[in-house]
Chains A and B, each alone.
Chain A
Amino acid sequence: KAGVTQTPRYLIKTRGQQVTLSCSPISGHRSVSWYQQTPGQGLQFLFEYFSETQRNKGNFPGRFSGRQFSNSRSEMNVSTLELGDSALYLCASSWTSGGPYNEQFFGPGTRLTVL
């Protein structure tokens, strides 16, 4: 079974631009969550999508948005990029949402650099 894939793997943008990141979950998984990882803040939850609906949202500004398609693939968009948005963006895939048995599997991440 193929793992979680994220594209692109690396991205360089300038302040003020917008960016779209993509995540394809493991086949059969319906939940996709997004996380931001920075040296200062560590791993922080952005949002989760399950069956095309946003289930939960972290404490990030409205510039961060996402969506999920009927095939469970998810995209994350960041508008009006700031220098502080430079980070590793990780998506996690799981079969369902919540519950004590629910393992989440992460992709390799997209390294975003904002200049």
Chain B
Amino acid sequence: SQQGEEDPQALSIQEGENATMNCSYKTSINNLQWYRQNSGRGLVHLILIRSNEREKHSGRLRVTLDTSKKSSSLLITASRAADTASYFCATPSEKLTGGGNKLTFGTGTQLKVEL
């Protein structure tokens, strides 16, 4: 089952505009990761935010985390055509024996940046 749900499912913007994607999750977490996937290819790791962090930046990316609302957002500023991709949030599974690396992914946001 999908732990996270991204919103919106699809987003179309013009180059230079900002893109914001939201992710909601269901269980308590110790971190949340965002990934980008270009059309049928592998996932590219964008950023990891820990549960004790509220905001994190990496280049044109800004991620926020609100553990009280069980939600996160990814902001891409000054978007480029090359940012066109699907974006996923992923959270570690809570119910693992002795820890582990099982990630539960959201359904993804398809971002299209037009020239």
Contacts and interface: CB of A to CB of B under 8 A. Distances in A.
Q: Real complex partners, A and B?
A: yes
Given A55-B96, A55-B98, A111-B40, 4 more contacts: A56-B93, A101-B31, A102-B31, A104-B101
A107 B99 CA distance: 22
Interface residues of A, number: 31
Contacts, number: 86
A95 to B, nearest CB: 10
Q: Tell me the interface secondary structure of chain A in the complex.
A: strand
Interface stretch (B14-22, B45-53, B74-82): B45-53
Interface of A: 4, 6, 31, 33, 35, 42-43, 45, 48, 50, 55-56, 58, 88, 90, 92, 94, 97-109, 111
B31 A45 contact: no
B41 interface: yes
